[in-house]
Amino acid sequence: MTKTDKNNFEVKFWGTRGTLPVAGNPFARTGGNTNCIEVTCGNHTIIIDAGTGIREFGSKLVSVCPDQKIHLFLSHAHYDHVEGIPFFAPFFVKDANIEICCGKLEGSKDTSELISNLMARPFFPVGPEVFSAKIEYNTLEENSTFNISNQIKISTAPMNHPGGSTGYRIDFNGKSFACITDTEHVSGQHDENILRLIDNVDVFSYDCSLMDKEMDDFRGYGHSTFEEGMRLAKIANAGSMRASHHMPFRNDEELDEIEKTMTEENPDHAAAREGDSFKL
């Protein structure tokens, strides 16, 4: 592996939809798969969330390097963030090493139980005992900070979401990326947990399910707006934002309009679309 490879910090979106996947021409440019982000830090593969987008990504991983170490960080266990887990190809490779991490969630004792419940009858025919990979389950404490290598630091914070959710920040080689998803803001207030994670961050993805004018119709569901994301970015001196977790009713043309509004304030802001990637 070359020096450039060892210092490579790249982010790719394999799914940017929230709630449930969609299909059809109105959604073709943004994509229809649910939440999944690949983060490459040198020779480490980090995945944030396991929506339907993780299925195709898993097939790619197996074809490129079947026996690698993979770190899977789950924000929480609502369907659109975990429904791809039973179909993630590396779970069925005996030489693969996979660490699954999640914060504490209402209704689940720990991360191991979470996965077992996800794949339990009557909802799924087989349990995680069918996996042949070496799997390590870890349950994260709130506001934890830890390293997965000498150069890779992970920081977490709780999000305002029914049942719990965790936001993540990854610092590597002097650069940073944060994933803030499934969080509901309070009008006129700014979440200090989020501001801490995105403080001077280079790029962050944010839960832009809604617009400010839609919030009153969706209070209590645990989601935010692209306008709040921009307000937070300005306060935290963040580099740029990728609007993500698009609602299933939000088509390509509507997202183009949202992106236009975002770029008028900051030309580095953008809507996250399936297949998008960038290097830090």
What are 186-233's pLDDT values in tens digits?
999 999 999 999 999 999 999 999 999 999 999 999 999 999 999 999
The shares of helix, strand and coil residues in the chain, as percent rounded to the nearest 5, are 30, 30, 45
Rounded mean pLDDT of the chain? 96
- Picking from 270, 264, 186, the residue whose alpha carbon sits closest to that of residue 228 is 186
**pLDDT band at 268; cut points 50, 70, 90:** very high
Q: What is the pLDDT of residues 149-174, one digit of tens each?
A: 999 999 999 999 999 999 999 999 99
> Residue 23 has which token pair?
């299909």
CB 178 within 8 A of CB 169: yes
Range of the domain at 167: 3-279
pLDDT, mean of residues 29-47: 97
Rounded Cα distance, 233 and 125, in Å: 44
pLDDT, mean of residues 54-82: 93
**Quick check: 4 pLDDT over 80?**
no
CATH number at residue 120: 3.60.15.10
**pLDDT band at 2; cut points 50, 70, 90:** very low
How far apart, in Å, are the Cα atoms of 169 and each of 93, 128, 174, 200, 247?
Answer: 28, 28, 13, 11, 23
- Picking from 161, 214, 154, the residue whose alpha carbon sits closest to that of residue 185 is 161
Cα angle 133, 12, 264; round to 5: 155
CB 228 within 8 A of CB 3: no
Overall number of domains in the chain: 1
Strands 69-74 and 44-48: parallel
